[in-house]
Amino acid sequence: MNQKINNIEKNFDTSKVSWLKSGGKIKNLIKIYNINDIDEILNSSEYFNEQFLTIGNFSNLLIKSNGFNGVGLKLLGDFTQIKIEDESLLVGAGVLDNYFSKYCYQNSITGYEFLHTIPGSIGGNIYMNAGCYGQEIKDKLLSIIFYDLLLKKHFEKPIHDLDFKYRRGFQQDNTVILYGRFKKEIGEQESIKKTMKEYEEKRNLSQPQRVNCCGSIFKNPENMNAWKLIKSSLNDSFYNGPVKLSKKHSNFFENDPNIEADLIEQFIINVQHKVKQKYNLVLDPELKIIG
């Protein structure tokens, strides 16, 4: 079948939307508003055998300078909605964390205050099992609804059937995360607001603000802090230049806008090399680099 797909942007420049203000181009970016849109793409001969990449808020994703020669799927429409059900919350993968946290506050739902400080989307959080302040997204999930690109069907799986780990969530090949079904716990609005404010103040004190930044560069090794390993392995030269470690937190980097994505990747590799030299340990990046 050869159908005309709407909502396509050719050679999409990711540096325009990336939190790092850097990144290569995606050959085809397609906006997805409902499950039927995915069916239409998969039934189109134009995109047969193409590689697919789901695009979130671009807070933790970097496309290399040579670009991504495939199809980026940007979830909008149905996947940016939140539905309060009798005993749960159905949240689209395209919903931003900060928006979801505020939505819960407005509806006296507690447990999602920590998302107020995370710049990603719900789909990205489910993919990464994101978290902070001693909480992870897996602790709040009941189930995940996803689309299998090979079987051309969507499925729902309960969280107890999924192997979530530290900074590794639902990463099954050839799938697109569509929704998360979350626990619903009623709380007191003033208490929720107070907790959100406390988390925001902690973030502002410990993390760089108003700079091009993707969050933590590396995952913490077991029983270790990545920032301590980095700080004790690197000299002052890593805190200066177009890509540099943050003086506020050594597991964050800041970069000048509009620089080549490959320069950022090389900086990360250089940091890894220095830590490995000193501790014989390879740090695992949180930033996903594609291309």
pLDDT interval class at 6 (50, 70, 90)? low
Q: What is the mean pLDDT of residues 112-116?
A: 93
Instruction: Specify which residues 31 forms β-bridges with.
Output: 74
108 is catalytic: no
Q: State what percent of residues in the chain have pLDDT above 70.
A: 96
pLDDT interval class at 50 (50, 70, 90)? confident
- Angle (deg, nearest 10), helices 189-206 and 97-106: 150
In this predicted structure, the answer to whether residue 15 has a pLDDT above a threshold of 60 is yes
Radius of gyration for the chain, computed over Cα atoms and rounded to the nearest angstrom: 20
In this predicted structure, the answer to whether residue 78 has a pLDDT above a threshold of 90 is yes
More confident residue, 41 or 144: 144
In this predicted structure, the answer to whether residue 108 has a pLDDT above a threshold of 50 is yes
pLDDT tens for residues 166-189?
888 999 999 999 999 999 999 999
Neighbours of 251 (CB within 10 A): 23
Tell me the C-alpha distance between 150 and 153, whole Å.
8
Average pLDDT, the chain: 91
286 is catalytic: yes
167 is catalytic: yes
The residues, any chain, with a CB within 8 Å of residue 283's CB and separated by 6 or more, are: 217, 218, 219, 221, 226, 229, 230, 271, 272, 275
Annotated catalytic residue within 50, 65, 167, 246: 167
CB of 54 closer than 8 Å to CB of 176:
yes
Q: What is the mean pLDDT of residues 207-235?
A: 85
pTM score, two decimals? 0.88
Q: What is the mean pLDDT of residues 84-100?
A: 96
| Residue 110, both tokens | 């507690």
Burial of 118 (0-12, 13-18, 19+ CB in 10 A): buried
Q: What is the mean pLDDT of residues 247-275?
A: 92
Domains of the chain, CATH where assigned: 8-77 (3.30.43.10), 81-191 (3.30.465.10), 209-282 (3.90.78.10)
Annotated catalytic residue within 101, 216, 233, 250: 216
Annotated catalytic residue within 40, 136, 254, 286: 286
| Residue 284, both tokens | 């695992």
pLDDT interval class at 248 (50, 70, 90)? confident
Tell me the C-alpha distance between 218 and 199, whole Å.
21
Tell me the C-alpha distance between 291 and 289, whole Å.
7
Q: What is the mean pLDDT of residues 220-236?
A: 94
